[in-house]
Amino acid sequence: MYGNYSQADVVVIRFKVYAIVLIVISMVVTGIMLGVVYLNNVGNGAPSLVEDTDLLGQNIEMPNLNMTLTNDTVVGLYDLRGQVLLIELMATWCSACEAQIINLQSLQDTRTTGIKIISLSVDVSETPAVMAAYKQEHGYDWDSGVENDGGFSSFLDLEYVPTLIIIDPDGFLRWIHVGTWAASSMDSTLTSLGL
């Protein structure tokens, strides 16, 4: 006898304590393993991007991400191959994105050919109609729309707007810039990339 407990009671209590200890240990080990798997896969699929540098050496071919333009046409990046693309990832509520319009307009005025500018909202609540009204309100004439299914945001692991990317005619990501970007700097970057 162990105090008020019989030997059988003590065996049952020990068994329950051992079972609880094993459950706690297995939960801790499982949590650690899941944490390691998560940390190893953070950003998995998203390229490792360095801002404001030529990314050609990383050989990042853009997947066929889709966008819906303000005229409700769905366009994929593969449809735009053969063109130099400057894509602004933005949102209509973003004041820095609004300021970027002047820079994009100035670049378009400077480079009348050879580049296609597209402003895409990455805000899931914004629609092609919202972007059409924004485009009309701000008086620019390049293509605008919304990303489909968060494709650009996910692939680029997007954190801030505006983010501007340059894609070469072969479909490779060449440059990424976060924040507003002066027209003269965009122009010199395109020139330095041979685009």
In this predicted model, what pLDDT tens digit does every residue of 58-90 receive, in sequence order?
999 999 999 999 999 999 999 999 999 999 999
| Span 39-55, average pLDDT | 63
| Span 109-125, average pLDDT | 92
Please state, for a pLDDT cut of 90, what percent of the chain lies above it. Answer: 68
Q: Which pTM value belongs to this model?
A: 0.76
Identity (one letter) of the amino acid at 131? M
Q: Report the C-alpha gap between 50 and 59 in whole angstroms.
A: 13
Q: Among 54-58, 89-93, 105-109, which is the least confidently predicted range?
A: 54-58
Q: Indicate if the pLDDT at residue 34 is higher than 60.
A: no
The vertex-38 CA angle with 27 and 66, nearest 5°, equals 140
| Span 176-184, average pLDDT | 95
Q: Report the C-alpha gap between 139 and 55 in whole angstroms.
A: 32
Q: What share of the chain is helix, strand, coil (3-state, %, to 5)?
A: 45, 20, 35
Please state, for a pLDDT cut of 70, what percent of the chain lies above it. Answer: 83
| Span 35-64, average pLDDT | 69
